[in-house]
Structure 1
């Protein structure tokens, strides 16, 4: 899978189905054959993974020591609610109500691509979250990426 980019505005239909935008669907050719997985995000949004990306996450989790309480708790909460999605003939996916409730998603949705996953936000929550951009974004960039730019491809 190539990296995912862009933000897409969508609407849920009365049955909580969401049409995958054509521009995004082109970047997800495996979605029709393998399906997708949706789950809770770390805050009030959802995350969609391709099945391949989800399996990579599960592979990482399977390497954790299952006898350590923090690991058990993290696995439990990270995988809680994970649901496989299948595209119907019209290119729609049915989003589970309990996940929509968790994220406070009602009707208007923003799909925000984040490299190898897609965040699914209630449109108003997305607007609020990203209207609070850090005052000094360049300082954040330096803290997060500064050393990497100097190292190159080590």
Structure 2
């Protein structure tokens, strides 16, 4: 499980250090793709394989599924972190997420998300009350 919030920097070559806490899980390889809300998703190779298996077995005649697949796979970047634990964000992925030098890396259960810091602030500001309200709906006896 991935959790926590980190703020590494992106260097001039588009590389960032994975937070040390996540390096062991990602050392065999990972896939970076477009995520929701203009963030980037980072999944281990095996988690991405599980995710894409659901896509493969879904009804391919569904126009929404095809459109989602195009957006998901078109910029997907398979990588293995280097010895220092760095990964490279392609220019296309950086543009999609609006990422320059500063980023926020979130552990989100089965994946990491990479956000532009101001976008993350706006998102959390808009979602805090909804988060409080949803806990009662999602976990009624919690």
TM-score (norm 1): 0.84
Quote the Cα distance in structure 2 between the aligned partners of 1:52 and 1:78: 16
Paired residue for 1:60, among 49, 54, 58?
54
Quote the Cα distance in structure 2 between the aligned partners of 1:82 and 1:24: 20
Partner of 1:145: 139
Quote the Cα distance in structure 2 between the aligned partners of 1:109 and 1:79: 22
The question of 1:119 aligning with 2:117 is answered: no
How far 1:80 moved relative to its partner? 2.5
The alpha-carbon distance between structure 1 residues 136 and 67, as it changes in their structure 2 partners (threshold 3 A), is closer
The question of 1:135 aligning with 2:125 is answered: no
Quote the Cα distance in structure 1 between the aligned partners of 2:30 and 2:117: 21
How far 1:94 moved relative to its partner? 1.1
Q: Which moved more, 1:134-143 or 1:40-49?
A: 134-143
Paired residue for 1:83, among 70, 77, 84?
77
How far 1:22 moved relative to its partner? 1.3
| CA deviation profile, 1:54-75 (whole Å, cap 9, x unmatched) | 0011100011122232322222
How far 1:139 moved relative to its partner? 2.2
Quote the Cα distance in structure 2 between the aligned partners of 1:65 and 1:122: 34
| CA deviation profile, 1:86-112 (whole Å, cap 9, x unmatched) | 211221111101000010001111111
Partner of 1:45: 39
Residues paired across the two proteins, number: 142
Quote the Cα distance in structure 2 between the aligned partners of 1:73 and 1:21: 32
Partner of 1:102: 96
5+ residue gaps, structure 1, are none
Q: Which structure has the bigger radius of gyration? A: 1
Quote the Cα distance in structure 1 between the aligned partners of 2:52 and 2:130: 36
